């Protein structure tokens, strides 16, 4: 949980507040292909990815469609399920061996009530997640595959280096072959 600690220290948390936050999280270790969230079951945790990659996907006509990948040093959440306490519409699994520092909703609510700055952090996390989801939805409708790739290249080049081609293609809404052609023309 050292990476989680460093993340919260960068945000200005220290002393008793930092200790309370860190004690509310539990480290969970995942093997490749372990499920973190299962469609139809309520997601009860959010987490911070300490190591590994975690794939968000839906099944459509028996085919996996990747919607997002959480990587090291980012927060993880099946937002709709966690916030509304409703069954998840997606699956999340470990693409690699990895670990996550996870917090339950009761522990999160306790921190939100006890530490005003943590409440601000949580609101910011939700706002960031909602904006990212909304932007992705817009991009899939309004931009061409080439434009979506160029935008990812500009805004999130680290993802292009870390995420395997077939998952990137799915996130962008194209086949791996089409993505290879796009990559050859856009650098």
Per residue in 81-137, pLDDT tens? 999 999 999 999 999 999 999 999 999 999 999 999 999 999 999 999 999 889 988
When pLDDT is averaged across residues 158-165 and rounded to a whole number, the result is 85
Query: In order of start, what are the domains of the chain with their CATH numbers?
Result: 1-113 (2.60.120.10)
Q: Residue 123's pLDDT is what?
A: 96
Which helix (H) or strand (E) segment is 124 a member of?
helix 116-142
pTM score of the predicted model: 0.88
73 touches 33 (CB < 8 A): no
Average pLDDT, rounded, for the chain: 93
Q: State yes or no: pLDDT of 161 exceeds 90.
A: no
Q: What residues does 59 pair with on adjacent strands?
A: 64
């Amino acid at each position: 949980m050292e990476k989680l600690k460093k993340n919260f220290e960068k945000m200005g948390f220290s002393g008793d507040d930092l200790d309370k936050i860190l004690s509310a999280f539990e480290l969970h270790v995942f093997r490749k292909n372990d499920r973190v969230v299962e469609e139809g079951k309520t997601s009860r945790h959010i987490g911070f990815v300490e190591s590994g990659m975690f794939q968000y996907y839906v099944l459509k006509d028996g085919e996996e469609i990747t919607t997002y990948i959480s990587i090291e040093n980012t927060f993880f959440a099946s937002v709709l399920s966690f916030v509304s306490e409703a069954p998840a519409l997606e699956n999340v699994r470990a693409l690699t061996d990895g670990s996550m520092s996870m917090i339950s909703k009761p522990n999160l609510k306790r921190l939100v009530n006890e530490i005003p700055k943590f409440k601000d952090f949580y609101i910011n996390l939700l706002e960031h997640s909602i904006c990212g989801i909304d932007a992705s939805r817009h991009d899939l409708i309004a931009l061409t595959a080439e434009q979506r790739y160029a935008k990812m290249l500009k805004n999130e080049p680290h993802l292009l280096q870390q995420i395997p081609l077939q998952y990137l293609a799915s996130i962008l809404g194209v086949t791996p072959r089409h993505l290879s052609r796009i990559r050859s023309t856009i650098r």
